[in-house]
Amino acid sequence: MVNPAPGLRLAADADVCAGAGQCVRAAPELFDQDDDGLVVLLAADVPEDSRARALDAVDLCPSGAIALRGHPAPPAPDTGADRLPPGP
């Protein structure tokens, strides 16, 4: 976390996770899945260069298991967001 974006913090709730893996596809540096497929937060403070991918991950999550903390409602992350990294 060399340069966290001010105020952009993530929270993940494995209890409501649907295990779709969308967060891992969008931002593998911030999220992982455990062996049971549920979300594991790798970094709660979002580095500036991961910002777009973090917003993408929150948007893609189908079950509302990941959320932004201490940040106003994010702008729609569907324009100009970083391309997703290669899929599985």
Partner 1 sequence: MTSPVPDAPDAPDTTADGAPAAFPLARSCPFSPPDGYAPMREKGGLTKAVIPSGKEVWLVTGFQDVRTALSHPAAGSDARHPAFPALGDGEQAVAAELRPFIRMDPPEHTRIRRMLVGEFTVKRVRAMRPAVEAICREQADRLLSLPAPADLVGEYANRVSTTVICRLLGVPMEDLEFFRRITSVSGARTSTAEEVGAALSDLFGLIDRLIDEKAQEPGDDLISRLVNGPLARGEITRTSLLSQIGITLNAGHETSRNMIPLAALDLLRHPDQLDLLREDPSLWPGAVDELLRHLSVADVITLRVATGDIPLEGATIPAGDGFIALLAAADHDPRAFPDPGRLDITRAQRNHVAFGYGAHQCVGQNLGRLEIEVALRVLFEKAPGLRLAVPLEDLPLRSTSAIFGLDEVPVSW
Name the site residues for partner 1 (rule: CB under 8 A): 16, 18-22, 24-26, 28, 33, 35-38, 56, 59-60, 62-64, 78-81, 83-88
Report CA-CA distances (Å) from 1 to 29, 35, 36.
Answer: 11, 26, 27
Q: Which two tokens stand for residue 66?
A: 């990941």
User: Which one, 4 or 38, has the nearer CB to partner 1?
Assistant: 38
Q: Output 10 or 56, the one with its CB closest to partner 1.
A: 56
Q: What are phi and psi of 51, to 5 degrees?
A: -55, -50
CB 26, min distance to partner 1, A? 8
Report, in Å, the least distance between residue 66 CB and partner 1: 13
Q: Report residue 32 as tokens.
A: 């992982």
34 or 48: CB nearest partner 1: 34
Residues 6+ apart with CB under 8 A from 13: 39, 65, 66, 67
